Amino acid sequence: MPVNAIWSIGSTELVEWLGAKDELTDAFLNDLTITMKITDDAGADVPGGENLPLAFVVGSNGDYKGVIPDAVTALFAVGKQFTATITAVSAGNGFKGVRKITRVAEFQGPTS
């Protein structure tokens, strides 16, 4: 299983939204407010996993990055699915987008 197919329990997890664009104008969206929420396989919020921000990467074309803190992934149960629901909005042009990343939680094995 590829590393990015799992949430690594007890580790900080990077989450990205890359190349956000206005589909009508093809312009990159560099002014979005993006937050994510982490839920378990029953749809319940994971404590500490609400309103986690993704920040604009300065100098990029619509790239945003954020993290799921290790304190949140430490609450994940082995073999269970957890979902990051990422919501992006722009006050300027009315853009709204939603993405979901669902992965299984596991302990990361050794790298060598």
**pLDDT (0 to 100) of residue 2:** 43
* Domain 3-106 fold: Immunoglobulin-like (2.60.40)
Mean pLDDT, contiguous 10-residue spans, the chain (112 residues): 74 97 92 98 98 98 98 98 97 90 90 54
DSSP string, 35-84: EEEEEETTSPBPTT-SSEEEEE-TTSSS-EEEEE-HHHHTTPPTT-EEEE
- Residue spans per domain, the chain: 3-106
Residue 95 and residue 36: Cα distance in Å, rounded? Answer: 16
